[in-house]
Amino acid sequence: MSNDETASLATLITIEQSARQAETLVELRFVIANETRELVPYTQGLLLTGKEGESLKVTALSDLPLVDRTAPFVTWVERLVRQEITGAKAQEVYSIDRERLPQEEQQQALGLSPRHLLCIPLLSSGKGRQGALILTHHNPWDRAQIALLKHLGGTYGHALGALTRPQVGQVVWRWINSSYQRWIALIAIAALMGLRVHLTALAPAEVTPRDPAIVTAPMDGVVERIAVQPNDQVTEGDLLISFEDVTLKSTFEVAERALAVSSAELHKSRQSSFGNPRERGHVAELEARVDLRQAELDFARTQLEKAQVRADRSGLAVVGDPDTWEGRPVDVGERILRVADPKRVKLTIMLAVRDAVVLKQGSTVKLFLDIDPLNARMAEVERATYEPSLTPEGHLAYRVTARFVEAEALPRIGLRGTAKIYGPRVSVFYYLFRRPLTALRQWSGF
């Protein structure tokens, strides 16, 4: 035996030992795609996995930690394997010359792959095909190298079969595949399908105030600042919102001075009217002008007072980020914040349209808060909107309102979680196959 043959045999044993010592599929795939280069030279190595009857998918690439399934080279190799490596070719080491491929495949392969490709099937004696190893190189491989790779393919196939766990469905089918166990399983499944369970639906939910005082913009203007922070306790008369009042103050001062001028003119005219009959007719005109100036002053004072919005009741301030309101122009009637009673809360649920079948007044609701997922809060459905609306995520949903059963220890306003709504009792079969049956009827029309 020559020195080269001895070195190749030692390398083969080392690679086989690495494959046997791999504890996970990730480690084994790395060994197959990268350490095979120690035995034979190649430009790129691709490991494709898939059992008999399944399409082979690239799961490892040499020199790369991750596989980009959208890469042109990966998609081209998977398509080439489906077209070329079929039938008896899938069981033997098969060499592919890029120049002998169809013209369309050659054009797509330019710049992607060297000329020569070698496909080594990874076979397990007990579990069949486990995958394939594709090697690319600018030069063809000799017979000795192909023989070593064929032997190594059997080792890799056995290792892949040992680390690949059978799917749960396959294990269950093997268990019920015997004659008497099959009938027992069918009877048990039929009995299970007849059981009655509640039809339920899960939906996002939020604790919201009940009948809060809505604080809106009393006029068109610019918000100077929000005087409260979210969840601040406010009392009646506390300042909530300040508007920019520079223009309002100027208007008020101008109206005040205009009233003073008109009042002075009226006073002068009245004094002159005692000796001058002509001035008596001018007094009525000046009195009307004073009334007009007084009305303008009263209006300016009212507008200036509106620049300071105060709470008309005590409660909890429900507002977003106050910084986002500063300097923001608003229209009259635009909602800015709410003042809510922390002891009067409700549960608002956004129920998807496809789950509206469970909607019924008085239905039981379990709320699992994000901050306390282990303890459920009980509630009852009060009402739901007639038409669905778009959620912030862009989904159509019905707005469902529920009241909490326990009047004490109510959750804080603004808390979010997941609500489980209990609908009517139905069979397990209907519970499991309601949506597939709905889709089938919509597709078939029956």
Q: Are 58 and 142 in contact (CB under 8 A)?
A: no
Co-location of 220 and 331 in the same domain:
yes
Is 157 domain-assigned?
A: yes
Q: What is the CATH number of the domain that holds 42?
A: 3.30.450.40
Percent of the chain surpassing pLDDT 90: 7
pLDDT confidence bin for 173, thresholds 50/70/90: low
| Residue 360 CB neighbours (<10 A) | 13
Co-location of 434 and 358 in the same domain:
yes
Helix residue spans in 85-202 (DSSP H): 103-109, 143-163, 168-176, 179-193
pLDDT of 177 higher than 70:
no
Co-location of 250 and 237 in the same domain:
no
Nearest residue to 290 (alpha-carbon basis) of 271, 264, 252: 264
pLDDT confidence bin for 307, thresholds 50/70/90: confident
Q: What is the CATH number of the domain that holds 329?
A: 2.40.50.100
Nearest residue to 17 (alpha-carbon basis) of 146, 112, 156, 115: 156
The amino acid occupying position 366 is: K
pLDDT in tens, 44-89: 899 988 887 778 888 888 888 888 878 888 888 888 888 777 766 6
Is 198 domain-assigned?
A: no
CA gap 345, 347 in Å, rounded: 7
CA gap 354, 312 in Å, rounded: 42
Co-location of 338 and 348 in the same domain:
no
Co-location of 105 and 153 in the same domain:
yes
Number of domains in the chain: 4
Is 294 domain-assigned?
A: yes
Strand partners, 306: none
Co-location of 39 and 146 in the same domain:
yes
Residue range of the domain that includes 355: 344-444
Strand partners, 133: 47, 120
pLDDT at 279: 60
Between 120-124, 258-262, 376-380, the lowest mean confidence (pLDDT) is in 258-262
Nearest residue to 381 (alpha-carbon basis) of 424, 410, 341, 428: 424
Is 192 domain-assigned?
A: no
pLDDT confidence bin for 166, thresholds 50/70/90: low
Q: What is the CATH number of the domain that holds 265?
A: 1.10.287
φ, ψ for residue 385 (rounded to 5)?
-65, 150
Q: Which of 294, 323, 343 is the last residue of a domain?
A: 343
Is 398 domain-assigned?
A: yes
Nearest residue to 26 (alpha-carbon basis) of 54, 49, 7: 49
Co-location of 236 and 332 in the same domain:
yes
When pLDDT is averaged across residues 416-427 and rounded to a whole number, the result is 90
Co-location of 350 and 286 in the same domain:
no
pLDDT at 276: 61
Query: Taking the model in full, what pTM does it have?
Result: 0.50
Nearest residue to 225 (alpha-carbon basis) of 207, 206, 239: 239
Strand partners, 121: 132
CA gap 212, 23 in Å, rounded: 61
Co-location of 76 and 216 in the same domain:
no
Q: Are 96 and 141 in contact (CB under 8 A)?
A: no
Enter the DSSP assignment of 164: S
Is 176 domain-assigned?
A: no
Is 204 domain-assigned?
A: no
CA gap 130, 380 in Å, rounded: 55
Co-location of 237 and 371 in the same domain:
no
Co-location of 272 and 390 in the same domain:
no
Co-location of 51 and 156 in the same domain:
yes
When pLDDT is averaged across residues 372-394 and rounded to a whole number, the result is 87
Burial track 26-49 (b if 16+ CB lie within 10 A, e otherwise):
eebbbbbbbbbbebbebbbbbbbb
Q: Which of 255, 285, 306 is the last residue of a domain?
A: 306
Percent of the chain surpassing pLDDT 70: 93
pLDDT in tens, 87-112: 666 778 888 877 777 777 777 777 77
pLDDT in tens, 333-349: 888 888 888 888 899 99
pLDDT of 205 higher than 90:
yes
Strand partners, 233: 316
Q: What is the 3-state secondary structure (H, E, C) of 41-102?
A: CCCEEEEEECCCCCCCEEEEECCECCCCCCCHHHHHHHHHHHHHCCHHHHHCCEEEEHHHCC
pLDDT confidence bin for 275, thresholds 50/70/90: low
pLDDT of 430 higher than 70:
yes
Is 180 domain-assigned?
A: no
Starting at the earlier edge strand, list the strands of the sheet with 44-49: 57-61, 44-49, 128-137, 116-124, 94-97
